[in-house]
Chains A and B, each alone.
Chain A
Amino acid sequence: GENVEQHPSTLSVQEGDSAVIKCTYSDSASNYFPWYKQELGKGPQLIIDIRSNVGEKKDQRIAVTLNKTAKHFSLHITETQPEDSAVYFCAAALFYFGTGTSLTVIP
């Protein structure tokens, strides 16, 4: 089955700085890569996704890049705000999640 690795496990940034989270996957047949944000006591919330026929996708302060050859994809958050503090998960092929990154934005 698919194996998804995610780094770093924790990330602290100053408000206004950028945050980058990276994931790798093992199954070259995977063609859909969502990113989820999970706040305490809540289920994961889809924040952005990318399909394998696209190299980059942007939605306001959030962007995702995909390198199919290297089998890795990344989440970029610019101009971070305290409300961005949460656990972020990458996933591959809908069902296989990374281990999560706890992001703290320091005011």
Chain B
Amino acid sequence: DAGVTQSPTHLIKTRGQHVTLRCSPISGHKSVSWYQQVLGQGPQFIFQYYEKEERGRGNFPDRFSARQFPNYSSELNVNALLLGDSALYLCASREGVSRYGYTFGSGTRLTVV
């Protein structure tokens, strides 16, 4: 079975630009969450989605937004990129909100120059 897949794997953007990151969860998983991992730090929670609805949001500015589609895939959008947005963006999925344990993808490495 395919795991959580994220695209692209690497991305370079210029300050002020917009970026869209994509995530396909494991088949049958309905909950997706997004994390930002700055080099040398633990993942920071950005969003959780379940059944296409936002179920949780971390302490990130409104420049960050996300959505989940009917097939449970998800997009993370970041507007007006800053140098500090450079990080590994991780997507994770699990079956539902009542089931423990997320499975993570390998992430998208975003570099803002």
B103 touches A46 (CB 8 A): yes
Quick check: is A1 within 8 A (CB to CB) of the other chain? yes
Q: Is the interface of B mostly helix, strand, loop or mixed?
A: loop
Between B33, B35, B43, B92, the greatest number of chain A beta carbons within 10 A of the residue's beta carbon is seen for: B43
A to B contact number (C-beta, < 8 Å): 50
What count of chain B residues pass the 8 Å CB interface test?
23
Kindly report which residue of chain B lies nearest to residue A100, judged by CB atoms: B42
Instruction: Give every chain A residue within 8 A of B4 (Cβ-Cβ).
Output: 43
Q: Quick check: B90 and A43 within 8 Å, CB to CB?
A: yes
Contact, CB under 8 Å: B101 / A44: no
> Chain A residues with Cβ under 8 A from B43's Cβ?
44, 89, 97
Interface of A is mostly: strand
List residues of B whose CB falls within 8 A of some A CB.
4, 33, 35, 40-45, 48, 56, 58-59, 90, 92, 100-107
**Size of the chain A interface, CB-CB below 8 angstroms:** 23
Residues A51 and B100 in contact in the complex (CB < 8 Å), given A1-B59, A89-B42, A97-B42: yes
B56:A95 contact, CB within 8 angstroms? yes
B105 cross-chain contacts in A, Cβ below 8 A? 43
